[in-house]
């Protein structure tokens, strides 16, 4: 059975989500600008949670402090009130 391109992408996404990276592995995937932004947020108690791939604007670093989330875009710009949906 041959899978369509969309089915292959869904399978890849499913497998990627099953692999939990530790914080140092997420850190290595950040750009230098993002590392600086995340580092600044860590001073206020935020921790790097994961990186979300955004096809339009590049990877977005998502940081968390309790139930609060913030993002750092590929240029290092911080958004303390991001419009993102987080799955449980």
CA 76 to CA 15: how far, in whole Å?
28
Cβ burial of 64 (10 Å; 0-12, 13-18, 19+) is middle
Residue 62 has a pLDDT of: 92
CA 8 to CA 12: how far, in whole Å?
6
CA 47 to chain centre: 12
Residue 3 has a pLDDT of: 54
Question: What is the chain's pLDDT, residue by residue, as a tens digit (88 residues)?
Answer: 565 777 656 655 554 555 556 667 778 888 899 999 999 999 999 999 888 887 777 889 999 999 999 999 989 999 999 988 877 6
The domain ranges of the chain are 22-79
Instruction: For residue 77, give the DSSP letter.
Output: -
Model confidence, pTM: 0.71
């Amino acid at each position: 059975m041959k899978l369509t391109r969309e089915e292959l992408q869904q399978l890849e996404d499913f497998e990627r989500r099953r692999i939990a990276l530790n914080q140092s592995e997420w850190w290595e995937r950040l750009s230098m600008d993002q590392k600086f932004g995340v580092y600044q947020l860590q001073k206020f108690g935020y921790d790097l949670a994961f990186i979300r791939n955004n096809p339009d604007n590049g990877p977005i670093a998502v940081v968390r402090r309790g139930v609060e989330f913030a993002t750092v875009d590929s240029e290092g710009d911080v958004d303390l009130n991001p419009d993102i949906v987080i799955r449980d």
